[in-house]
Amino acid sequence: MDSVYMDHASATPVRAPVIEAMMPYFDQHFGNPSTVYDIGSNIKNVIEEQREKVAKLIGSKTEQIIFTSSGAEANNLAIKGSVFARQKKGTHIIISAVEHHSVLNSARFFERMDFEVTLLPVDEYGLVAPERLLDAIRPETVLVSIMHGNNEIGTIEPISELSTICKEKGVLFHTDAVATVGNIPVDVNELGVDMLSLSGISLGAPKGIGALYFREKLRLMPLIHGGIQERGRRGGTENVPAIVGLGKASELASEELTDRINHVQELRGILVAGIHERINNIIYTGHPEKRLPGHASFCIEAIEGEALIFMLNQEGIYANTGSACASKALKTSPVLVAIGIPPDLAQGSIVFTLNSSITFEEVEYVLKKLPFAVEKLRSISPVWRKKTAA
Residue 325 is a catalytic residue? yes
Q: In whole angstroms, give the CA distance from residue 149 to residue 131.
A: 19
Give, for 47, the enclosing helix (H) or strand (E): helix 38-58
CB of 213 to its own copies, least distance (A): 18
Site for its own copies contains 284 (CB under 8 A): no
Site for its own copies contains 242 (CB under 8 A): yes
Give Cα 381 to chain centroid, integer Å: 33
Cα distances (Å, whole numbers) of residue 144 to 111, 195, 211, 254, 343: 15, 10, 19, 28, 28
- In contact, 182 and 154? CB cutoff 8 Å: no
The one segment of 166-174, 203-211, 277-285, 380-388 that binds its own copies by CB under 8 A: 203-211
The one segment of 30-38, 56-64, 331-339, 376-384 that binds its own copies by CB under 8 A: 30-38
CB of 306 to its own copies, least distance (A): 6
Cα distances (Å, whole numbers) of residue 31 to 35, 237, 328: 8, 10, 40
Q: In whole angstroms, give the CA distance from residue 9 to residue 389.
A: 38
Site for its own copies contains 380 (CB under 8 A): no
Site for its own copies contains 45 (CB under 8 A): no
Within 81-110, which residues bind its own copies (CB under 8 A)? 84, 87, 100-102, 105-106, 108-109
Within 125-154, which residues bind its own copies (CB under 8 A)? none
Task: Measure the CA dihedral 234/206/295/51, to 10°.
Answer: 50
3 state DSSP class of 349: strand
Within 152-181, which residues bind its own copies (CB under 8 A)? none
Site for its own copies contains 11 (CB under 8 A): yes
Site for its own copies contains 7 (CB under 8 A): yes
Nearest to 159 by CA among 131, 181, 121, 130: 130
Site for its own copies contains 30 (CB under 8 A): yes
The one segment of 28-36, 141-149, 169-177, 279-287 that binds its own copies by CB under 8 A: 28-36
Give the Cβ contact number of residue 124 at 10 Å.
12
Nearest to 80 by CA among 172, 157, 149: 172
Nearer to its own copies, 7 or 251 (CB): 7
Nearest to 285 by CA among 358, 351, 203: 351
Within 211-240, which residues bind its own copies (CB under 8 A)? 221-229, 235-240
Site for its own copies contains 241 (CB under 8 A): yes
- Work out whether strand 317-318 and strand 141-145 pair parallel, antiparallel, or are unpaired: unpaired
**One residue of 208, 278, 304, 368 binding its own copies per CB under 8 A:** 208
Q: Between 61 and 80, how does the x/- string for binding to its own copies read (CB under 8 A)?
A: --------xxxxx-xx----
The one segment of 24-32, 182-190, 341-349, 373-381 that binds its own copies by CB under 8 A: 24-32
Triad 87, 208, 320: Cα angle to 5°: 100
Residue 128 per-residue DSSP state: P
Q: Between 301 and 340, how does the x/- string for binding to its own copies read (CB under 8 A)?
A: -----x--xx-xx----xxxx-xxxxxxx-----------
Site for its own copies contains 355 (CB under 8 A): no
CB of 209 to its own copies, least distance (A): 8
Nearer to its own copies, 227 or 340 (CB): 227
Catalytic residue among 39, 325, 330, 383: 325
Single-letter amino acid, residue 345: L
The neighbouring-strand residues paired with 353 are 7, 295
CB of 45 to its own copies, least distance (A): 15
Single-letter amino acid, residue 343: P
CB of 94 to its own copies, least distance (A): 17
Enzyme catalytic residues: 325
